[in-house]
Copies of this chain bind each other. A is one copy, B any other.
């Protein structure tokens, strides 16, 4: 979580990067971090490159050593968020087979992220609205869970695309509520329960699934 540490994602061949490269990578990260922060508070339209540069602590011209245009900054931020998103999702529900449980875990994870990292969440909401491409990144993971849940007899939906749209927009809406209107007790479970029910899981069962302890929570 340290802002400036994270010098290695674990996958980079150690000796590939010279010092110059390291510095370049760090500046790039500063820019992306700054962009996320601005997104969160000012939206897409509010990302002015001067502001971005200032927030990142570099001069305006420097931005163009890393991105060819404003458009590419937005793209890069979207990509960055998509990657972080994937990591969020993948790390959580690895060992779970039930589609319904996986979906519940995903929804609750995002809800909890909304509680603990409002900036990231606002940026995510902004980007999902702006870059339709982001939606497909989400959809990929989601579709697998929906289909699994249906095969396993838990989900009963009439139209897959509409089901996905429903899950995504409802979850984002709930995240937005959390971020903008403040705390709600057990918001994660409530959201998950509603989503499961929307997909045809009976009320009692939905409550049970949504109430399971999250993996890694030490339950």
Residues of chain A having any CB pair with chain B under 8 Å: 44-45, 129, 132, 156-159, 161-163, 165-166, 168-170, 172-174, 176-177, 180-181, 184-187, 190-191, 193-195, 197-200, 202-203
Describe A's contact surface by its main secondary structure. helix
The reply to whether A165 and B156 contact each other, CB–CB distance below 8 Å, is no
Nearest 4 CB-CB pairings of A with B: A169-B173, A198-B198, A165-B177, A194-B198
Stoichiometry, as copies per complex, reads 4
27 A-B pairs whose Cβ atoms sit less than 8 Å apart in the complex: A44-B45, A132-B180, A158-B186, A158-B190, A158-B193, A159-B185, A159-B190, A161-B181, A161-B184, A162-B184, A162-B190, A162-B191, A163-B194, A166-B173, A166-B174, A169-B172, A169-B173, A169-B174, A169-B176, A170-B170, A170-B198, A194-B199, A195-B198, A197-B200, A198-B198, A200-B203, A202-B203
Given contacts A129-B129, A166-B170, A202-B202, 20 further A-B contacts (CB under 8 A): A44-B45, A158-B193, A159-B184, A161-B177, A161-B184, A162-B177, A162-B184, A165-B173, A165-B174, A165-B177, A168-B173, A169-B170, A169-B176, A170-B170, A170-B198, A197-B198, A197-B199, A198-B198, A200-B203, A202-B203
